[in-house]
Chain A
Amino acid sequence: MSLAQAPRGQSLKIVSIRGGEGVRRRLFALGFHAGDLVEVNAQGIFRGPFLINNLTSDISVALGRGIAQKIQVEVVSDEK
């Protein structure tokens, strides 16, 4: 599923990042890579941007819907 459809507040693992080279490079530079654990924190009103927390590198990024749709994630079960 894409990050745009992912449930809020759950640990997710990035499976792949699609999209054009420019967008991908930008996301890599900001510290978003396949394999990272992320979490959707909030979403703006009227299909606004997503607030994504990257748990692996501990940074927060606002991503527009179009970008969030290009990031494929899977739910990580919280087994400790």
Chain B
Amino acid sequence: MPWAVALPKKFRSKSFPMKNNFPVVVFIGQPNCGKSTLFNALAGPKAETSNFPGTTVKHTHSKVNIEGRLLNIIDLPGTYSLNPSEPAEKVVLTHLFQEKPDLIVNVVDASILGRSLELSLELIELEDPMIVALNMVDLAEKKGVQVDSAKLEKRLGVKVVPTIALHGRGIKQLLEAAFYRLDERCPVRSPRWSLDVEEEVENLAKKIPADFPIVANRRFTAVKLIEANRAFCCEVLEELDPILKRDVDLAKKNIEEKRRAPAYEAIAAERHHLALKISEQSSRVERGKHLSWDKRLDDILMHPFLGYPLLAGVFLAFFFLIFKIGNPLEGSLLRALSGWRGFFSKLLGSGLLFHLVDGLLQGIGGGIAIVLPYFIPLLFFMSFLEDLGYLARAGFLLDTFMHRIGLHGKSVSPFLLGFGCNVPAIMSTRILESQRDRIITSLLIPFIPCSARTTIVLALVAFYLGPMWALGFYIFNILLVAGIGRFLTFFFKAPSPGLILEIPTLKRPSLKNMLDKTYLQLKSFLKFAWPILIGGSVVLSLVQFLGWDKIFNTLLSPLVVQGLGLPRELGMTLIFGFLRKELSLLMMLQALGVDYKNLLTVISPEQIVVFTAFVSFFIPCLSTFAVLWKEMGKKVAFLSAGLSVAVAVLVSLFIRVVI
């Protein structure tokens, strides 16, 4: 969904409340705790949600008017701790410290309370105004865990509001608590740790010189100095303040001697034990209810043998369902479209006016008849799999195969997102810790058939040659990605760290959430992609009317006619394919000047396959190219473009020879 990049711009222009006085409220929580769902419940569907850790890789701003009060709400990517290791998590720290929020809303997954509280405790160390949204209490109850929010509130020392973001429950109480905290300063005090560690922290806190930049408070700064990673402590601090550096090293050494473990581990263990203790004291667990439907389903979904046929089954069902829904729709809508064209051609003759109207009709009608019949079901089923939590399971199953191409299972999620759209997929590579993995994954993503290319494959190959051809093309495409991956790892040899991927609990997808997500993505398609399709069709009409298309077609004919063996009129459509891949498809009929029923009279089935292959691979579309540039730099963007051209030419020639 290339339009997804453009989406937050709307908020950006209104955001950054430097000069106005709207209170800034940030949503922080661990990955997959439902921050974005909660955010959407407050601000309307704006942030993408899914049941996969790391869906939100950048922040979403929204100014909302709640009961006459304006608030600036910021939804931050999920983070496990304030010592980030993924690029996406670093966004959190930047925002937390730069935007100086008036209130922190810590979203906590009640079904895994112990682990979630580790971040809460770290946030409380800031001693900034904060409330806790105890989310997914329904899921916790299903697991047999009853959380007593009053007890939890007492132990943490901050307001706790139970919520079920998915059903909008507890939102009102959360807002009331938020407004109360914004109006009345309620002091927050961090709980203290075991004496042996605590005394070292307090000692260091006292020694921090007055001119040192204090973050939040002295104790928090001291803690962060002790647990920060080596690079920061040794290099930056050595230059900044060598005396303090000595004190920090001493504190670390003392803790290490006492605990016989690195200082950062001792501190992590302190939080862990405190979190577990609080979690135990404030919740009642009924065992036995444990083995519910999701556990049993999980045993099958991730079974070492059964899991794979199931994965293949899911993929095939996905593919054929979309085809079965889209195919009859495409047929009848195209029939209607060609009827309209006949009507206008009789009415307007063949002058400039007809060409303009025809271009407009092709753009608008093509969008409705060719793109939407496949696109809407694709979005809907994709959101079903996402919400269910199947993506992480696919990651687990495919890890073995990803190792063959030099990556690991964590890259599966960007890849799977790529089937929707390459743009968010490339952004989501931020969840990968190693730069090497990010580069390889980003270079491979443009070869994943996104929804636009799936549409081309379904609307062209499946529609004219039958679904098995389309499926074959798809499988070939996936093998190609594996082959390119294998090839790339020759050049990026550095070992990739092993797989560490959280598998979230399976959740029953909610129809409302799925519809909201489909709507959100469809809206941005209509807003950003459709105008390009319409504009492109009109431009092509004009170019054809003026006869300029012959110039481009002649220029490209060595490649198009001699190289690929395609009709020379298609040269022009390739240029437009850079804007949007679907545009090449819409323009194909227009450029060849035939009705959809007669397409096979001017072009052979083999040529359709070659054309589809070339259009699919020959260059990342404009939005993908832009996001590659932005995320990975100029070099990777151009490398990707070059790689695409080379692969497209080789693959098309290969297909031409083989078929």
Contacts and interface: CB of A to CB of B under 8 A. Distances in A.
Interface in B390-437: 392, 395-397, 399-400, 408-409, 433
Interface string A1-32: 00000000000000000000111111111110
B114 interface: yes
A42 interface: yes
Given A21-B229, A56-B276, A62 B503 contact: yes
B269 interface: yes
A49 B499 contact: yes
B400 A48 contact: yes
A44 B400 contact: yes
B501 interface: yes
Contact of A23 (B230, B276, B302, B500): B500
Interface in B471-522: 497-503, 505
A34 B299 CA distance: 27
A63 B395 CA distance: 11
A36 to B, nearest CB: 8
Interface stretch (B57-65, B192-200, B303-311): B303-311
B112 A62 contact: no
Interface stretch (B77-85, B355-363, B444-452): B77-85
B401 to A, nearest CB: 8
Contact of A22 (B304, B396, B433): B433
A60 to B, nearest CB: 4
B409 A49 contact: yes
Contact of B83 (A23, A25, A30): A25
Given A21-B230, A45-B305, A59-B112, A33 B503 contact: no
B396 A33 contact: no
Nearest to B85: A26
A56 to B, nearest CB: 7
B159 interface: no
A57 B352 CA distance: 70
B503 A29 contact: no
Contacts of B499: 49, 62-64, 67
A75 to B, nearest CB: 21
Nearest to B118: A31
B399 A62 contact: yes
Nearest to B279: A57
Contacts of A46: 400
A57 B400 contact: no
Contact of A57 (B81, B83, B112, B229): B112
Contacts of A29: 80-81, 83, 85, 118, 268
Interface residues of B, number: 42
A43 B437 CA distance: 23
B400 A47 contact: yes
A71 to B, nearest CB: 11
Contacts of B80: 29-30
A44 B395 CA distance: 11
A68 B501 CA distance: 12
A42 B303 contact: yes
A31 B143 CA distance: 19
Contacts of A42: 299, 302-304
Nearest to B395: A62
Nearest to B305: A45
Contact of A31 (B115, B303, B308, B433): B115
B238 interface: no
A56 B111 CA distance: 13
A23 B408 CA distance: 15
Interface in B263-278: 264-265, 268-269, 272, 276
Nearest to A66: B498
A26 to B, nearest CB: 5
Interface string B125-166: 000000000000000000100000000000000000000000
B590 to A, nearest CB: 48
Interface of A: 21-31, 33-34, 41-49, 51, 56-67
Given A28-B264, A31-B118, A64-B399, 18 more contacts: A21-B264, A22-B497, A31-B112, A31-B115, A31-B272, A42-B299, A45-B400, A48-B399, A57-B112, A57-B115, A58-B111, A58-B112, A58-B143, A60-B503, A61-B500, A62-B399, A62-B503, A64-B500
24 contacts: A21-B264, A23-B498, A25-B83, A26-B500, A29-B83, A30-B502, A31-B118, A42-B299, A44-B396, A45-B305, A45-B400, A48-B400, A49-B400, A49-B499, A51-B503, A57-B114, A57-B115, A60-B505, A64-B499, A64-B500, A65-B498, A67-B497, A67-B498, A67-B499
The 6 closest A-B pairs by CB, nearest first: A64-B498, A64-B499, A31-B115, A29-B80, A48-B400, A66-B498
